[in-house]
Every structure is written in C-alpha cells, then in structure tokens.
Amino acid sequence: MDDSLTTPSAHQVLVLKPDNPSNTSLVDSATGEVVYKVITKHESKKTTTYVEDAQGKTAASWEWRDVRSDVLTLAGGKPQHASSRLSESKIPFHR
C-alpha cells in the first residue's frame, strides 16, 4: 500500500486503518491510498485530535475538555465550542 496522501473524490468510500478513530489513516477502499490521517496527542494538560488532509495540513482539530465544552477548529477557521456546532438529537435513543 502506498502511504502517500491523495485528494478525496466525490464518491469515495473511506476505511479506518487501523479501526481506531483516535489514531488512524482514512484509506480509499478502491485504491488503498491514504486520504486523511487522524492523530490524537495527549499533552500534560490537554488532549487534541487532529485531522490532516492530503497535503499534510491540519483540516480540523478537536480539543477535548473535561469540564467545559470541547473546542473545534475547522480548516484553519476560528475555534468554536463544540456545543455551538453540534446539537442534541431530536429523536432520543431507545433500546
């Protein structure tokens, strides 16, 4: 498998290899090429998950927090609280 990064296409199926959402490569199922990489860094007082695009640039980051809302940054934009980007489900989960 070629470890070079490629640009994603419109109808691509991506597979996590290994199957670990915190540290993985998103691989094009048709070609086996790495499209994105997900890296989680555990530093002394914070944990951040980064998604790198095909050029190795950070496409998004998620700073995990215990007490306050997590912080999301998309494509180099302004950091936002996760609670402002994500909403509660209107349909509760039932067994």
Predicted model pTM: 0.71
The answer to whether residue 24 sits within a structural domain is yes
Is 59 among the domain residues? yes
Residue that the structure tokens 């540290």 belong to: 23
Residue 95: inside a domain: no
Domain of 81 in residue numbering reads as: 14-85
pLDDT recorded at residue 4: 45
- Tell me the per-residue pLDDT of 27-51, one tens digit each, with 9 for 90 and over: 889 998 889 999 999 998 899 999 9
- Domain-located, residue 1: no
Q: Does residue 44 fall inside a structural domain?
A: yes
What's the total number of domains in the chain?
1
The answer to whether residue 25 sits within a structural domain is yes
Would residue 40 count as lying in a domain? yes
What are the two backbone dihedrals, phi and then psi, of residue 24, each rounded to the nearest 5 degrees?
A: -160, 170
More confidently predicted of 66 and 5: 66
Q: How many CB atoms within 10 Å of residue 82?
A: 15
Residue 71 lies in a domain: yes
